[in-house]
Copies of this chain bind each other. A is one copy, B any other.
Amino acid sequence: MSQGKTALVITAHPGDFVWRAGGAIALHARKGYRVKIACLSYGERGESQWAWKTAGVKLEDVKAQRKAEAEEAARILGAEIEFFDAGDYPLRGTEAILDRLIDIYREEKPAFVLTHSLNDPYNVDHPEATRLAQEARIIAQAAGHKPDPTRAYAAPPVFLFEPHQPEQCDFKPNVILNIDDVWEVKRKAFEVLAAQKHLWEYYTRVALNRGVQGGRNSGRAMTYGEAYQRLFPMILEELA
């Protein structure tokens, strides 16, 4: 049933798709989805603090190192990854980036999209990634943008992934994804991010606590969860 389905992840930095959406990526990859990650920057300036502790390190070297990590993490999770090299801190969307994202929406016709929370007062790049994800999703619907009368396209549902400090970002999860089946894969992807070892345990605890909450909300046991905030109404044929 997931034959030919695609999932799209639009992320500001490499770490984000691992910590925040690694479970969803691995889970859907295992179910047979193609999962495509649009990685807008390498997080080279603001998410690579350790790399800059060496005097004289070069930007290009930091980028190359983060790129390699991101590719390895994507491989472990079972996803494809496309880099945009948009720069970080601040990440600024350009018309070219937007244009490529629009094309991706149309090419992939994703079954759903994962991206950042709408607000993040700790991080200027996260809401910019979300803005780009939302604008591209909308513009992809415009028949007059690169017109092609044969094209069919419908805007997919959007799920926001959990930010580092959810309450400060006005993040209110309405979905908890059970990632028990792929937890080991997600955890393995953590280990690619060797310099952020302190976050391995942090996000393991987040997954365990979301798992407990998932159990409470469903009455069905589960261990590891990923929280999401779904935008846009769901259209259902049955409520349970």
A: which residues have CB within 8 A of B?
Answer: 2, 5, 7, 24, 27-28, 31, 44-46, 48-49, 51-55, 57, 59, 62, 88-90, 98, 111-112, 114, 121-124, 134-135, 138-139, 141-145, 147, 149, 154-157, 159, 164-168, 171-178, 198, 201-202, 205-206, 208-209, 212-214, 216-220, 222, 225, 227-228, 230-240
Contact = CB atoms under 8 A, between A and B. Distances in A.
A138 B124 contact: yes
A156 B218 CA distance: 8
A238 B29 CA distance: 11
Contact of A177 (B134, B145, B213, B236): B236
A53, A166, A177, A228, most chain B CB atoms within 10 A: A177
A175 B239 contact: yes
Given A144-B62, A157-B240, A171-B167, A235 B222 contact: yes
A111, A114, A144, most chain B CB atoms within 10 A: A144
Contacts of A177: 235-237, 239
Nearest to A135: B124
Given A112-B239, A134-B121, A154-B219, A233 B139 contact: no
A154 to B, nearest CB: 3
